[in-house]
Homo-oligomer: A and B are copies of this chain.
Amino acid sequence: MDKPLKLAIAGLGTVGVGVTKIIQNHADLIATRAGRPITITAVNARNRDKDRGVDVSAYQWVDDTAAFADMDDVDVVVELIGGSDGTAYDLAKKALGKGKHFVTANKALLAHHGHELAALAEDNKVNLAYEAAVAGGIPIIKAMREGFAGNAIDAVYGILNGTCNYILTEMRETGRDFKDVLKDAQELGYAEADPTFDVDGVDAGHKICLLTALAFGTKPDFTSLEMTGIRHINATDIAFASELGYRIKLLGIARRMNGKIMQIIEPCLVPKNSTLGTVEGVYNAVHVEGDYVATGHLVGLGAGEGPTASAVMSDIIDIARGYETPAFGIPAKDLQAPKWVNIGETVNCYYIRLNVLDEPGVLAEVSAILRDNKVSIEAFLQRGHDPGQPVPLIMTTHESKHKNITKACAQMENIKSVLEKPCLIPIENIK
């Protein structure tokens, strides 16, 4: 058996502890699978004295993570700190520059600096690996980089944020509104005290950038990403979507369209019996369309100690086996600057909810605006009748240009009896 692969682990939070447990509990199994033992040389975390439920006393404690890059008995730096810049970024550059493999769960880091770091890894003939950065329990990075490597990828659709999927599922099952369910999710530990990264789509946004790069051989580009979160979705939308045969899911979408690429995060209606429509609660899912494989659909837990640590281990075992794969599937020098689709020119069916005062004439005004903007209505739905009071008015449209429908929504917002900004949600009829 070959000599051990030696790790330094930066960050002993949930995932770092999970990785340590797997290495301790499955030492023999992993050595057999990897062809060599995998051991921990050194660790680092903010607080040395915290009880983490795992014994790290046998490992060298390093106060400054940057020191990992200089240690001769470290082959792989495992970065589980997080954050797009600061310590994680500095560590990545230093470790790769010094010829250490770099394994990370840090989607923000790679969404912002993925191209630079991939190039640095290749220059130093080491791996930059990040299976845990997207949909922890789902081996989607490996599937796209290797499993579907014979395909030109047409599209990737992902439920990439378990917090949002949990909230949307709870809203549907209980009929409660966003704020209520978010509060519960925070108490249960499914959502952070500051939920912005999750519910505004930033976390899913970081992830779709990595999938876009893998799918299309482009440089990860977070700065151009359009993101819409789930704060504007209310219980009425969820209920009407169900009635129409749909579920509302926060999707990351990366799609090839006429030689350009669409990359977006937004809530969408997907058919309730579709593969994505049936993914509920904290589960993540990724749906890939390739020209030969047709569709690949993968489901698993997106976060948590075990699933994320399992993903980190798969990267480490690949390194132990000597696999050398460019981070984004092709050499960094071949990654192209993406040409983005003009979202305004894209065409979709849409769901629209207006909150209107129930009074004569509203429908006529709404209809005229839609007609003037070339938006063709498939169905109008209104439940209840309460003269002079606010009621939801639901519409679904035939295929419409994005710029037309957003213009129509802006105009409808100015109608006197329309009480708030219209809620506009694309309908994605994915199988």
Please list the residues of chain A having a beta carbon within 8 angstroms of any beta carbon in chain B: 18, 22, 26, 29-30, 32-35, 131, 137-139, 142-143, 146-152, 217, 273, 275, 278, 290-301, 304-307, 309-314, 316-318, 321-325, 329-331, 334
Contact = CB atoms under 8 A, between A and B. Distances in A.
Main secondary structure of the interface of A (DSSP, over half): mixed
B34 A149 contact: yes
A293 B19 CA distance: 12
Contact of A147 (B139, B299, B309): B139
A298 B301 contact: no
Top 3 A-B pairs ranked by shortest CB distance?
A: A150-B313, A139-B147, A292-B306
Contacts of A321: 323-325
Contact of A149 (B151, B295, B314): B314
Contacts of A329: 33
A22 B292 contact: yes
6 contacts: A32-B217, A142-B146, A146-B314, A290-B310, A293-B311, A297-B300
Contacts of A35: 331
Given A22-B292, A321-B325, A152 B29 contact: yes
Contact of A151 (B131, B304, B310, B325): B310
B301 A295 contact: yes
Contacts of A312: 150
Contacts of A273: 278
A26 B290 contact: no
Contact of A298 (B33, B298, B322): B298
Contacts of A152: 26, 29
A137 B26 CA distance: 30
Nearest to A294: B301
A296 B292 contact: no
B150 A139 contact: no
A321 to B, nearest CB: 6
